[in-house]
Amino acid sequence: MSMKELEKKLRDRFGEGVIDFAIPRKNRLIIKVDASIVKEIAMFIKENGFDMPISAGATDYPKDKRFEVFWVIWSSIHNLVLILKTDIDRDNAEIDSLVEVWRGVQKFERETWELMGINYKGHPKLKPLLLPEDWDEGYPLRKDFSLSPYKV
Amino acid sequence: MGIARVEEVEELKDGLMRVSIGPQHPISGQGRILVVTDGETVYDIEIDIGYSHRGIEKILENRIYIHGIVPLERMVMLDTSPITMCYVRALEELYGVEAPPRAQYIRTIILEMNRIISHTYALGLFAESAAWNPAIFLWTTADREPFLDLLEMLTGARWSYSFIVPGGVRADLPQGFKEAAFEAIKFFRERLDVYVDSWIDNYLFEVRTRNVGVIPRDKAIEWGAAGPSLRASGVEYDTRKHDPYAAYEELDFKIITDTSGDSYARGGVRVKEMYVSLDIIEQALENIPDGPIKRSLPQRAPPGEAYARVETARGEIGMYVVSDGKDKPYRVKISPASFRNIFLIEMLPKIEELRFADVPVIFYSLDPWFLDADR
């Protein structure tokens, strides 16, 4: 299946839910989707051969009041890397967890929950991982986190 | 670092206990493995990392691009060049440039030497975990010396090279490097044969590591294993082949895989990969083209984003770099191989019967690195 066919299948099935479909270079694919249907789309692309989770995280855009949440999936069949992206509201940082789709994203979502403060709905194990256990100074990877107390 | 509070620890059934391995140096670095056991059988394993979290992703956001290379190397001191290679690769994609061919070959040579250095250390620890005589660890530590000397000759440092920079490499091969490298390769190949004869092919070692910690192919993919841990489960996946960088596209080598997915297979893949690395270094030294080694780049990267992948000794590292046109990255997301591999051991008691004595064997066979996972 070529990527053109995948794009057609996706757009036929989800219509407006697929916001962007881009091939920036060889072996890369970026799909931007609507946050409300991210889980259905994830199921769909997993059925189409994207089976191995290799990364997940989020980027903070305080000016646009949004987080861009992403999952990076490798396909053992097509040999390419897919970046699945979606935008969520910065004041209400919630998104469906994709652990049920790809088991391996569990640790990445847990880490993003801790460092970026994004609530993954349906995640089985949202508990602290990297930060000290008495940490209460906010979410270090957000752009409004101040580094000045830590500068030497 | 989140499961230390006593009130949060759930009650255990009668006859079971929770044993904490670590957090002081259970392997290189600080981290804790919590094992629920009745003394022999393992029922549950929980990985507790974060004891050396330095916030490297945040640090990178506050440094100009080239200064990011130094903190990045602190992720794995044994295996620094592939990590910087990944960052540099992402930056070169953002800038839309490629390093000159000679620089690509020099990069390949350093990357493969680093792989050998890292694999020897991993195998030494693996041997020790299987109750093997510590002599193996001393052997592997001594035998990597020629490569450390070569890297010192080339870069001026034994561990943290900061040698691969955006646009090329810092310096050209010094005089006498080629000859010294061929000599080291010859020496090391003989030593590898000795390892295989005396230890890898040894019945006692096989008994200790065969069928221990078997990760089936489908689980390895589902859980997102990386590097030798993935290839030992029969997945032919190596970014050197599948998403080539440096000079790998022009060199002839094959991906080492195994199908059994047990601890022995993971160790075996590492040993065979070292033979492949020696071949790659030889080819690179023989075919290295003449020409410039660096092109200069402006301090500000054009706006955009890039996802770069590089095969470190522990597996694939991924870096997602977002630039907003300034001289510092807007966001860097690092997905190191250890972070993916370290959690595999949590899954294992759910699919097979483990004994307590198997835990270190499996752990060292996966070769995760706490500092790599913590960042």
Residues in CB range of B64: below 8 A, 6 or more apart: B299, B327, B328
Classify strands A66-74 and A81-89 as parallel, antiparallel or unpaired.
Answer: antiparallel
> What does the domain layout of chain B look like in residue ranges?
55-336
By C-alpha distance, the chain A residue nearest B50 is A130
How confident is the model over B146-192, as pLDDT tens digits?
999 999 999 888 888 889 999 889 888 898 899 999 999 999 999 99
| Alpha-carbon distance values, B55 to A138, B52, B321, B323, B338 (Å) | 14, 9, 16, 19, 16
The architecture in CATH of the region B55-336 reads Orthogonal Bundle (1.10)
Comparing CB atoms, the residue among B50, B335, B375 nearest residue A55 is B335
Residues A73-96 have a mean pLDDT of: 87
Contacts of B374 in chain A (CB under 8 A): 130
Asked if A140 contacts B55 with a C-beta cutoff of 8 angstroms, the reply is yes
Half-sphere exposure (Cβ direction) of A35: Cα atoms closer than 13 Å: 18
- What pLDDT is attached to residue B3? 53
How confident is the model over B72-98, as pLDDT tens digits?
998 888 889 999 999 999 999 999 898
**Residue among B321, B341, B237, B44 at smallest CA distance from A104:** B341
**Residue among B340, B320, B314, B318 at smallest CA distance from B79:** B314
Regions of chain B with pLDDT less than 70: 1-11, 133
User: Distance, in angstroms, between B49 CA and closest chain A CA?
Assistant: 6
- The phi-psi region of residue A40 (left if phi > 0; otherwise alpha if psi is between -120 and 50; otherwise beta) is alpha
| CB-based contact, A100 to chain B, within 8 Å | no
Substitution target in A51, A63, A66, A74 with the highest count of B β-carbons within 10 Å is A74
Q: What angle do CA B289, B291, B297 make, to 5 degrees?
A: 125
Q: Tell me if B343 and A83 make a contact (CB, 8 A cut-off).
A: no
Buried b (16+ CB within 10 A) or exposed e, B134-162: eebbebbeebbebbeebbeebbeeebbbb
Comparing CB atoms, the residue among A104, A133, A147 nearest residue B62 is A147
- What pLDDT is attached to residue B4? 52
How confident is the model over A13-48, as pLDDT tens digits?
777 777 888 888 888 889 888 888 888 888 888 888
Domains along the sequence of chain A with CATH: 3-145 (3.30.460.80)
In this prediction the ipTM stands at 0.89
Classify strands A28-33 and A81-89 as parallel, antiparallel or unpaired.
Answer: parallel
Q: Tell me if A104 and B224 make a contact (CB, 8 A cut-off).
A: yes
Residue A109 has pLDDT above 80, yes or no: yes
User: Distance, in angstroms, between A146 CA and closest chain B CA?
Assistant: 11
Structure tokens at B280: 């790659």
- What pLDDT is attached to residue B180? 92
Q: What SS3 state is found at B353?
A: coil
- What pLDDT is attached to residue B2? 56
Report d(CA A117, CA A99) in Å as an integer.
17
Report d(CA A125, CA B305) in Å as an integer.
30
Q: Tell me if A128 and B50 make a contact (CB, 8 A cut-off).
A: yes
Q: Tell me if A102 and B320 make a contact (CB, 8 A cut-off).
A: no
Report d(CA B311, CA B226) in Å as an integer.
9
| CB-based contact, A83 to chain B, within 8 Å | yes
Residues A119-132 have a mean pLDDT of: 86
Higher pLDDT, A146 or B119: B119
Q: What angle do CA A44, A50, A52 make, to 5 degrees?
A: 130
- What pLDDT is attached to residue B300? 87
Residues in CB range of B267: below 8 A, 6 or more apart: B123, B126, B200, B209, B365
Classify strands B168-169 and B164-165 as parallel, antiparallel or unpaired.
Answer: antiparallel
Report d(CA B310, CA B230) in Å as an integer.
15
Size of interface A-B (CB pairs under 8 A): 96
- What pLDDT is attached to residue B9? 59
Report d(CA B31, CA B21) in Å as an integer.
8
